[in-house]
Homo-oligomer: A and B are copies of this chain.
Amino acid sequence: MTIEAFDVVDLIRAKRDRNVLSMEQINWLIDAYTRGYVADEQMAAMTMAIFLNGMERREIRDLTLAMIASGETMDFSALSKRTTDKHSTGGVGDKITLPLAPLVASFGVAVPQLSGRGLGHTGGTLDKLESIPGWRASLSNAEFFEQLESVGAVISAAGSGLAPADGKLYALRDITGTVEAIPLIASSIMSKKIAEGTSALVLDVKFGSGAFLKDIEQSRELARTMVALGEDAGVATSALLTNMNVPLGLAIGNANEVRESVEVLAGGGPSDVRALTVALAREMLSLAGIVDVDVEGALDDGRAMDTWRAMIIAQGGDPDAALPAPRETQVVTAGRSGVLVEQQALPFGVAAWRLGAGRARKQDPVQHAAGIDLHAKPGDIVTEGQPLFTLSTDEPERFARALEALEAAYRIGQAGDEILTGGPLIVERIGS
């Protein structure tokens, strides 16, 4: 690719003045930034200008393609199976990837799930799985392909070779207040997913207090933007817009989320976790051309569980080993009898993070046994003194700040009060 030279200050000014950047300008910008020719402070001014002035669909597509071109791409065309993948924008108690990947793979498709670690109040799939003794996130390319062929499901760490421009740009956005810009979120997620080479992709785009984007309209716009990017790149893409005002399931943490996932794989588990897993599995299978199959049956008859066990074993894990237990727990009980009318996702996510389940900085470790187990969900009738939730940590000095986060996070009302869940779990499907 021949790249014309531009003056980065001219490009910043153009976006600052609400002009549209050409494909050549965007290609040059991303290439020059990746090589270090455009400085971080120049890219920071550009991303703030993009945040405030936006980008057209064509610019977002060109930005996504330029980030893909900054690194390697994967190619699954040699596999005997079709590939189908899922991405969630992240939430509190969102362990859906764990039951979902083996469930979908149990229907004979390949699920190449490259996942990340958690940062802040949202958990990371790899952090959760690493609470399984022996399990390892890093696979060689050969191991990755071999496991996709034999087991069908792989959940592993993304290599740094995919869309390196995105890695550099995301780290910059994180410290410059430009994370929540739809063109930048969409191109960041989709550049990695398209570079991964999947032929189908389902997006779980969350809205609400525990989500990345609080506002449903913004989440809808993000979902539409990403579905369009996928379609432009030849990836069959759809999105579910899902509610993240309340924690998903009853477990928030790492080991406890694995435990809950295994319950779902055994045909049980909390109804919301099961429902979202099934809905996303149907979408993933449908985009891979598999319809009219009994998705729930695969949870109930052990097929999904068999694939889970094979997946964990293939990555060195022992699916029967005891999961780490916390050194200390503290139970919070109901102060009165009534109905639990509110349980806000964000403060529960922050509390689990403060207990040690999450990290503030990329390089920090997490505590696998830290987190929160909920004993009641909004709408449940509770009796004074009944346990509402249990906090777990290895460091009891963490309880105080976790409880602080939870002070106004839940409320017991009376029968007949409105249950504040912010609407149904799955609001809308976006895609063709």
- Taking beta carbons and an 8 Å cutoff, which residues of A are in contact with B? 9, 12-13, 16, 39-45, 47-49, 51-53, 172, 175-178
From B40, B43, B49, B175, A52 is in contact (CB under 8 Å) with B49
From B9, B40, B52, A16 is in contact (CB under 8 Å) with B52
Complex CA–CA separation, A116 to B16 (angstroms): 28
Residues of B within 8 A of A175 (CB): 9, 39, 41-42
Identify the interface centre among A13, A40, A49, A53: most chain B CB within 10 Å of its CB: A49
Complex CA–CA separation, A52 to B48 (angstroms): 9
Residues of B within 8 A of A40 (CB): 39-41, 44
| A12 B45 Cβ-Cβ under 8 A | no
Complex CA–CA separation, A235 to B42 (angstroms): 36
Pull 29 A–B residue pairs with CB atoms less than 8 Å apart, ordered by A.
Answer: A9-B177, A12-B176, A13-B177, A16-B48, A16-B51, A16-B52, A16-B178, A39-B40, A39-B175, A40-B41, A40-B44, A41-B41, A41-B43, A41-B172, A42-B44, A42-B176, A42-B177, A44-B44, A44-B48, A44-B176, A45-B45, A45-B47, A45-B48, A45-B176, A45-B177, A48-B52, A49-B52, A52-B52, A52-B53
Complex CA–CA separation, A51 to B176 (angstroms): 15
Residues of B within 8 A of A177 (CB): 9, 12-13, 16, 42, 45, 49
A121 to chain B, nearest CB (A): 15
From B45, B52, B172, B176, A178 is in contact (CB under 8 Å) with B45
Given A16-B52, A41-B175, 9 other A-B contacts at CB below 8 A?
A: A9-B176, A16-B51, A16-B178, A40-B41, A41-B43, A41-B176, A42-B177, A45-B176, A48-B49
Residues of B within 8 A of A9 (CB): 175-177
Residues of B within 8 A of A47 (CB): 45
Residues of B within 8 A of A39 (CB): 40-41, 175
Residues of B within 8 A of A51 (CB): 16
Residues of B within 8 A of A176 (CB): 9, 12, 41-42, 44-45
A175 to chain B, nearest CB (A): 6
Provided the pairs A52-B53, A176-B12 are in contact, do residues A45 and B44 lie with their beta carbons within 8 angstroms? yes
Residues of B within 8 A of A45 (CB): 44-45, 47-48, 176-178
Complex CA–CA separation, A105 to B51 (angstroms): 51
Identify the interface centre among A39, A42, A43, A177: most chain B CB within 10 Å of its CB: A177
Residues of B within 8 A of A43 (CB): 41
